[in-house]
Amino acid sequence: MFDELAKYKNNGHFVFERGQTLSQVCNAPEKSGVYYILQLSEGKFQLVYIGASGTINQNGQFKNQLLKGRINNKQNGVKRQHFFEEIMEKNDIDALNIYWFVTFDEKHQHIPTYVEALLLQKHFEIYGCLPEWNKKF
């Protein structure tokens, strides 16, 4: 779905299942980039969230929260560990597949929120809405 991400060679993913500790299974680096979350439920994957990390200041420096920190931070005001556990239990989600891409490094200098906007726009063009966990943009 997101061919735009193929150019980012510094990428990866991990699976989060109920009972796991998010900070232990998260293999995202402390770099700036984007990530998206797929939920696995009843044998089907569904894109539920697109996010970015690495807010850039006017002087070109990034704030502290990079991919690993952002993925492990909060969702809707709740620690992601707890948010994931609660929503997985409530919606009978088997696992979350979290894919990450470094968009700002020696080879590419693409501001993460710009790339996030491109991905959200593409999703919106296809489905007419944002992913379920993206409440606004």
Range of the domain at 22: 3-127
**pLDDT tier, 134 (very low <50, low <70, confident <90, very high otherwise):** very high
Domain membership of residue 28 (yes or no) is yes
Q: In a 10 Å sphere around its CB, with 0-12 CB exposed, 13-18 middle and 19+ buried, how is residue 131 labelled?
A: buried
pLDDT tens-digit profile of 70-118?
A: 999 988 888 999 999 999 999 999 999 999 999 999 999 999 999 999 9
Domain membership of residue 31 (yes or no) is yes
User: Angle 45-92-46 (CA atoms, 0-180°, nearest 5)?
Assistant: 15
Domain membership of residue 135 (yes or no) is no
Domain membership of residue 134 (yes or no) is no
Q: Looking at the 3D structure of the chain, how many domains does it have?
A: 1
Domain membership of residue 133 (yes or no) is no
Domain membership of residue 136 (yes or no) is no
- The rounded mean pLDDT for the chain is 93
